[in-house]
Amino acid sequence: MFFIPVITAYVLLELMVLNIPTNFSIIGDYLDKNQNEIEVAVFGSSQIKNAVNPEFLDKTSINLSSTMQHHNTDFKLLTQTRERLKSLKTVVLEVSYSHFELRHNSKYYWKSNVFLKYYGINLLERNSYPSDSLLFISHPGYYSKILLGNYLKNDTDINYNKFGFNKNRYKGKFKTLKYDSVAISNSFVRKINKRANKKLFDYNVSFFYNMLDYCEKENLNIVIISPPTLDNYNRLRNPIILNRRDSILSDIALKYDNIYFLNSEEDSQFTSRKFWNENHLNPDGAKIFTQKLNEVINNINH
């Protein structure tokens, strides 16, 4: 009968997880309450998650981006929320430096369980079962960290607004370095993709064009954003990857009438004090970037 206490332990852990507000649960609640009014939907990876705070967008908006999220997940989220978002007019998509040369999310992507639980969206590519809504089992490591921070460490670094944006995300590499420009310039850039992959690039670009065609068919305007990155990150970019990305953006600008761009990768307005690390903004930087995005959206002729 060993399995009984094990099952009991998992049930208790699941209940504890469900009692902790996360950005997913907050976004899910916001989606349910505002789906008829949402005009702008934002998609992307952690760079977009931390760069766009809907609080500073004039139009009713939702940010559905998350860490390590790629275009194939973005597209599923878009198509499966389309009927619910009756007022949707503008879609914001990420094309950061090496986005076209990173692999799409696997069909076993653990966040599919999260999206099913909180957004009511099935990305599992099969019929769902009741067990698919069990969050702790979907990613024990992630939820163990949440439980540890909430119940044992009394983590006070999280302060979500009603859009699921963490307004208190300052503690990190740059704050530790006291925003010293010399120390930051000499610091090691932990993660940047410098490996060019033409085969992957071709596949991802073709997929992205399908996304754009879908949006055009749905009469949706598209804003393609490239969020700010700091100088020490930009210096390490592979010029082959960068030039290939830029060539596609130029081609898109010629082929589509409903496309708008916001590229802030080299915007000097974003000093180190606006960053959490080399390629992620802190809430101060997000406010500035979101205000820039707001200008672009407001200037779109719907």
Instruction: Give yes or no for a contact between 22 and 115, defined as CB atoms under 8 angstroms apart.
Output: no
Entry pTM = 0.91
| Residue 143 reports pLDDT greater than 90 | no
pLDDT at 156 (0 to 100): 58
Mean pLDDT of the chain: 89
Q: Are 258 and 90 in contact (CB under 8 A)?
A: no
Half-sphere exposure of 12 (CA within 13 A, CB side): 6
Task: Identify whether 111 is part of a domain.
Answer: no
Per the CB < 8 A criterion, the answer to whether 300 and 260 are in contact is yes
Is 77 inside a domain boundary? yes
30 in any annotated domain: no
| Segment among 186-190, 237-241, 257-261, 281-285 with least mean pLDDT | 186-190
In a domain, 287, yes or no: yes
| pLDDT-wise least confident of 26-40, 125-139, 159-173 | 125-139
The confidence score (pLDDT) of residue 2 equals 44
In a domain, 284, yes or no: yes
Where in the sequence is the domain holding 233, given as residue range(s)?
Answer: 35-102+156-298
Domain count of the fold of the chain: 1
Indicate if the pLDDT at residue 1 is higher than 50. Answer: no
- DSSP sequence for 87-153: T--EEEEE--TTGGGSPPPPTT-THHHHHHHHH----SSS---GGGG-HHHH-HHHHHHHHIIIIIS
Query: What pLDDT, in 10s, does the model give residues 66-94?
Result: 999 999 999 999 999 999 999 999 999 99
pLDDT of residue 17 exceeding 60:
no
Convert 129-164 to b/e letters by CB count within 10 Å (16 or more is b): eeebbbbbebeeebbeebbeebeeeeeeebebeebb
Whose tokens are 């990613």? That residue is 139
Tens of pLDDT, residues 201-223: 999 999 999 999 999 999 999 99
Is residue 196, in this structure, part of any structural domain at all?
yes
Tokens coding 63? 């940010």
Tell me whether residue 146 is in a domain.
no
Q: Is the pLDDT of residue 301 over 70?
A: no
Q: Give SS3 for 56.
A: helix
Separation of alpha carbons 71 and 204, rounded Å:
8
Instruction: Find all residues with CB under 8 Å of 299, minimum gap 6, and list them.
Output: none
Query: From CA 298, how far away is CA 294, in angstroms rounded?
Result: 6
Beta pairing, strands 275-277 & 280-281: antiparallel
Residue 58 lies in a domain: yes
The CATH code of the domain that includes 72 is 3.40.50.1110
